[in-house]
Amino acid sequence: MQRAFLPFSLLLMLLFGGLNVASATNLPSAPVLKDTIVIRLPNQATITLVVRDAAQLRQMKNYQLDSLTSRLAGYITQAETAAKNGTSDQVTVQFYPDKDQPGKNLPEQIRITTRKKQPNSSGVVVLLNKKFGVNVTTNDNGDVSIKTSDIQTKAEKTARRDSTRLSKIENDRTSTDFIFDLGLNALANQKAYTSPGGETDALDLRTEGSRYVNIGFDWRARLGGKRSPMSITVGPQFAFNNFMLSGNNKWVNENGRTDIVPETSGRQYEKSKLGTSSINLPLMLRLQLRDKHYKNTFSLGAGGFVGYRIKSWTKLKYTNDGNSYKDREVDSYNMENFLYGMQGTIGYGSLELFAKYNMNSLFKTNAGPDTQVVSFGLRLFGN
């Protein structure tokens, strides 16, 4: 690396010395480079040589500058030709002078990246060995801009990111994720229901008002080897179910039963809902597939849950004689205390959907409408 750096910096400047440069271009400084020699030529071109110390300057006599100048000019011509014939915006060509002619103090590797001409500019990027780079840009006026930097190719950046992801996957056998689900409730397997007035009808919910919210934590443990896509998931979750009635009806708890009755006092309900909260413990098997860069792609989870109802309440929002009122009453409403059912998730990348089916009835036997609950929606966090 040290052997090739000195002649290459000087030779690259000489190649562009014939250009009509309007003003001298300064190389950006780097903390590890200390000594600088600036040579202004009669045609107003400037050669800037940056080295780590004065000792490297004294080694210039060991390099065959004339031979390397001719060789580098040929390399750049080949790179420009490859760029014109290529289909992509840039083409990278690599040369190995030291292997071609061993023992002549030539660079170990020269990598030239040529980009297609953009409006008002053209550029050639030349890399010496693997790290140090020179970026030369010429505009339509002939002005030259030269920058030196530690250049990392797109492929190298991608490889580094992939390595980081793979290391995390292999080392993190267990993980904990915060879960936040937002969705809706619906009723399934409804049996014939007879209201206190003797009318038989299906329990009808207002879909947009029957919301479902679930928060909690998922603890995941990988099953199998370091790159296994399978894991088992368990963790506490707190769910909030709302069941909002359509029409001008309300939930009533009387005589050991919870029924739906129409309002006859003249009130007009804006909201009439039954709400419940519960704590649940799911146990699921999860499949997580990844692409060649180890990013999450398709995911699938399935399992069951058990839970316990914490609290239930009704909430009424209505108008009467032009005034708005809100009534809230807490009671058990004859709802089942112990809960159990099945749930699953399906997703791709950062998008994940969930569905949950309560196998127990919403109300106790003969104490309310005989129906079960289905919740579904979007998992906002935890995928």
Tell me the average pLDDT across 260-272: 85
Phi/psi of residue 52, each to 5°?
A: -80, -35
Among 19-28, 31-40, 253-262, whose mean pLDDT is lowest?
Answer: 19-28
- Chain centroid, CA 117 distance in Å: 33
Cβ atoms of residues 130 and 94 within 8 Å? no
Q: What is the pLDDT of residues 85-115, one digit of tens each?
A: 777 777 787 777 777 777 777 777 787 777 7
Rounded CA separation 221/308 (Å): 25
Rounded CA separation 185/188 (Å): 10
Name the DSSP letter for residue 119. Answer: T
Integer angstrom CA distances of residue 324 from 151, 181, 251, 269, 320: 68, 32, 19, 10, 7
Name the DSSP letter for residue 62. Answer: G
CA distance from start to end of the chain: 46
Q: What is the pLDDT of residues 60-94, one digit of tens each?
A: 666 566 666 677 777 778 777 777 777 777 778 77
Which pTM value belongs to this model? 0.60
Note the pLDDT of residue 346: 97
Measured in residues, the chain has a length of 383
Q: Which of 276, 278, 269, 374 is nearest to 334 (CA)?
A: 276
Tell me the average pLDDT across 267-293: 94
The residue whose two tokens read 């009704």 is 314
Contacts of 383 (CB under 8 A, 6+ apart): 296, 299, 345, 347, 350, 351, 352
Note the pLDDT of residue 307: 97
Opening angle at CA 187, ends 186 and 189, nearest 5? 145
Cβ atoms of residues 301 and 256 within 8 Å? no
Whether residue 207 is predicted with pLDDT greater than 80 in this model: the reply is yes
Q: Which of 109, 114, 76 is nearest to 94 (CA)?
A: 109
Q: In the chain, what are the domains?
A: 2-151 (no CATH), 158-381 (2.40.160)
Q: Which of 371, 375, 298, 377 is nearest to 342 (CA)?
A: 375
